[in-house]
Chain A
Amino acid sequence: MVLKLFFPQCCNTADSGLLVGRWIPGHNSAVVLAVIHYPFIPGQVKKYLSELQSQTQVDLTVLGSWSMPKEGQEGMDSFLKDLSTIFPQECWLQLSREIGKRGFTCQVVQNNGRLLQDREQKNGEGDKIILIHYDQRKVMLSQLHPVQDVGQKSDVEASELRLVFQTVAQSQPLFFLDKYDDGPLKLSHWQSEGREASIIAELLKQASVPVCIFLTWLLSLWYWFCSFRILHLPPVLFISSKLSTCVQSVYRAVHFRTVFSPKKAGTHVEFMRKANIFVSFLVDIALGLLLISWLYRENRISKLADTLVPVADRVAKELQELLEWLMGAPAGLKMNRALDQVLGRFFLYHIHLWISYIHLMSPFIERILWYVGLSACLGLTFALSVLSDIVALLTFHIYCFYVYGARLYCLTIYGLSSLWRLFRGKKWNVLRQRVDSCSYDLDQNTADTALFPLQLFIGTLLFTILLFLLPTTALYYLVFTLLRLVVVLFQGVIHLSVDFINSFPLFAIGLRICRPYRLAEGVKFNVLCQEPGTPLHLMMEINPLKCSSVLQCYRTPTYSCYPKDSWAALCKKLFVGELIYPWKQKTDKTD
């Protein structure tokens, strides 16, 4: 069997000493974490290792000895061999390196004294040891994907590389002792030149706890406010579920609760989620403030408000012209005069009412808009939600017309289909939910299922009337559905962009670009050129996660506005005249 040894790059030039690390269970491999230098007292080494074992839950042991002899240090070899009796192990590794040579030599001694491999042996088994060099700091900070929790019991045995990464990541307390400490032990690892820290990071960490507590208290105030009885009345609930601003604010409140909880994030996934939400929230606010500065700079908001009423007027005038056109002979089609006039006048009256309401509101529009524009300081997503709501309110009359037209058309179609069935001698069986045939004879036994001639006569009359009224209702329905679809499309685009801002994992993408080793998909090996007689040396580097996988993995789940129906179902609904709500908001999924 081939023995694999993971050796940190920082220890390549370390002085002679003991190798401390872990044997990977289940695989014939070992990870070297640090080198303890001479002079040391074996009892203290054992005590230190057992302390660390209880602290980190990693079974650290002395793996073997490392010798890099300098001048005047001959005779180390025999000293090193004697060490294996002090630290009894099943397998004792003896790594050595000579100055000027790049390759290491390795001997493995089993506990019954037998040498597993001798470096002079060139034929026969040959080299059966692989030395894999790794960058300790990067491996410690990196997270292998797909992410599996450490304490999670899984049916699948963890792979060798995953165990190596976990071992190095969990052994952080081992790396706290640097060469300036006055303790009895001198270690070499990636931090032995001095622990790295940043004052700003430490200050932020200290300040974040009280800030988080304060913000959580503010959030609880908001929840207390939202729990008022008056806000839970059905009409209020209904309106607030339709207004996208309210939905967005609820969603953001849930986010804040996640981010500002004073508890530190336990797992990697939780940490990334918190960081992504926090960064996207900051970017949102920044973009919102940018929008405010642009809107309020040259009093653009007043100009916008001034153009709002003329635009609403213009839309209403266009609708009026459209209805006049429909009341005439649209596109050369001949409409039923009476129904046409009724419907046209009905809708024209609505538009007249609408224009009067707009004119009533026009003095207040500018003030309202000015204050509503300030709400963009809560974020660009808020501004977009408010825009969507304003558009919905201003085109409310189009929505009403669509509903009227659709209901009328739907009634016509249902009436026609049921009377058509009557013509053909079939009937809808409510009990069995299917179409059954119906006989015409007047037998006493089947009197309730037979068709009387009177029924047939009235049915034929109604069918003819409805059939000849169909083009008129169909045309009105078509026109108003098209208008409604235009508005729905515009709202859909706004919702999609809000969704995008909410769910895009900016922090994860930033981490992938600036510190690619933190998110690892796997590893890469390079064969290092070697000298004959030395075992195989490989350099292990971290293969970063692809950007598309980062997006897929770390996307924040949102109340996504996906189309509820497929295209076929949508077309069917349009044809039959059912009311369509193409953008259905799913409730927030929590995992």
Chain B
Amino acid sequence: MAEEEEFTDINGNSISLDCQTHSAFCREFTVTSPKLSLRKVMVCTCFIWLFAYAVFFFTENTTVLSSAIILTLAGMMIHIHFVKVDHETLLIIGSLGVQLSSSYASGRESTIFIEMSKLKDIVINEAVYMHSIIYYLCILIKDPADPETVASVVPLFQSSKPRLNCLVHVYRSCQEILAQTS
């Protein structure tokens, strides 16, 4: 069962949330960020190359041009492999654990799995971010030796930063599953 609604992130860019229910206690949420815009890439590249050409015009040194090309290529590769996140996934399996996965624009995936015994709760928290206050969904991890205290906090959907309406959707589904299986 898949759902699509109109959601935005904290900056106003439109994102999409995809909910899949695999079973009564297993759900998967995917938040997709907007793709890399071609216009931005072209503007950036043109700017760098014009600047390099201007430097070449004054210095008559061709290494400036080749280094500008190499720099642009390297920068683009680093950006799509390490910086640009395509979609983030939250897979919650009742009584087993929660899996967070970020998939980058180059196809690389980075995954973390948190076992249910370490998970205290999933909550929506507020944070001061620059000049505004934003909501974010986070997982509270408990120290196995001392179950009452919160050992650390793992924020979810850090790159896409969806707004509260999207977070509430995910929060309700997660709480249903957590209530069922604990």
Indicate if A523 sits at the interface (CB-CB under 8 A). yes
Does A161 contact B99, Cβ atoms closer than 8 Å? no
Chain A residues with CB under 8 Å of chain B are: 1-2, 4, 28, 126-127, 130, 132, 155-157, 159-161, 522-525, 527, 530, 535-536, 538, 543
Does A4 contact B24, Cβ atoms closer than 8 Å? no
C-alpha spacing A536/B181, complex, angstroms: 15
As a 0/1 sequence over residues 111 to 127 of chain B, the CB contacts with chain A under 8 angstroms (1 = contact) are 11101011000000000
Does A160 contact B26, Cβ atoms closer than 8 Å? no
CB B79 to nearest CB in A, in angstroms, measures 20
30 A–B pairs (Cβ distance < 8 Å), ordered by A? A1-B95, A1-B181, A2-B94, A2-B96, A28-B95, A126-B23, A130-B93, A130-B95, A130-B96, A155-B145, A156-B144, A159-B115, A159-B118, A160-B117, A522-B112, A522-B113, A524-B99, A524-B111, A525-B96, A525-B113, A527-B26, A530-B22, A536-B22, A536-B23, A536-B25, A536-B26, A536-B93, A538-B96, A543-B111, A543-B112
Indicate if B28 sits at the interface (CB-CB under 8 A). yes
User: Contact size class for B?
Assistant: 20 to 34
> Which residues of B are found within 8 Å of A156, using beta-carbon distances?
144-145
As a 0/1 sequence over residues 64 to 98 of chain B, the CB contacts with chain A under 8 angstroms (1 = contact) are 00000000000000000000000000010111100
Complex partner residue of B25 from A2, A155, A522, CB under 8 angstroms? A2
C-alpha spacing A2/B23, complex, angstroms: 12
With A2-B94, A130-B93 already in contact, the answer to whether A524 and B25 are too (CB < 8 A) is no
Q: Nearest 3 CB-CB pairs, A to B?
A: A2-B95, A536-B23, A524-B111
CB A181 to nearest CB in B, in angstroms, measures 36
> Which residues of B are found within 8 Å of A536, using beta-carbon distances?
22-23, 25-26, 93
Does B93 contact A127, Cβ atoms closer than 8 Å? no
CB A67 to nearest CB in B, in angstroms, measures 23
CB B145 to nearest CB in A, in angstroms, measures 6
> Which residues of A are found within 8 Å of B111, using beta-carbon distances?
522, 524, 543
> Which residues of B are found within 8 Å of A525, using beta-carbon distances?
91, 93, 96, 99, 113
C-alpha spacing A28/B23, complex, angstroms: 19
C-alpha spacing A156/B144, complex, angstroms: 6
CB B90 to nearest CB in A, in angstroms, measures 12
Does A523 contact B113, Cβ atoms closer than 8 Å? yes
CB A194 to nearest CB in B, in angstroms, measures 34
Q: Which residue of B lies closest to A524 (CB)?
A: B111
With A156-B145, A157-B144, A525-B99 already in contact, the answer to whether A127 and B23 are too (CB < 8 A) is yes
Does B117 contact A159, Cβ atoms closer than 8 Å? yes
> Which residues of B are found within 8 Å of A2, using beta-carbon distances?
25, 94-96, 181
Complex partner residue of B28 from A126, A157, A527, CB under 8 angstroms? A527
CB A254 to nearest CB in B, in angstroms, measures 36
> Which residues of A are found within 8 Å of B28, using beta-carbon distances?
527
CB A144 to nearest CB in B, in angstroms, measures 11
Q: Of A4, A127, A155, A522, which is in contact with the most chain B CB atoms at under 10 Å from its CB?
A: A522
C-alpha spacing A311/B54, complex, angstroms: 46
Does B113 contact A524, Cβ atoms closer than 8 Å? yes
C-alpha spacing A4/B96, complex, angstroms: 8
> Which residues of A are found within 8 Å of B94, using beta-carbon distances?
2
> Which residues of B are found within 8 Å of A530, using beta-carbon distances?
22-23
C-alpha spacing A523/B101, complex, angstroms: 12
CB B108 to nearest CB in A, in angstroms, measures 13
Does A527 contact B22, Cβ atoms closer than 8 Å? yes
C-alpha spacing A2/B144, complex, angstroms: 21
> Which residues of A are found within 8 Å of B91, using beta-carbon distances?
525, 527
> Which residues of B are found within 8 Å of A543, using beta-carbon distances?
111-113
C-alpha spacing A530/B118, complex, angstroms: 28
> Which residues of A are found within 8 Å of B101, using beta-carbon distances?
524
Does A160 contact B115, Cβ atoms closer than 8 Å? yes
CB interface residues, B 32-54, toward A, < 8 Å: none
C-alpha spacing A159/B116, complex, angstroms: 9
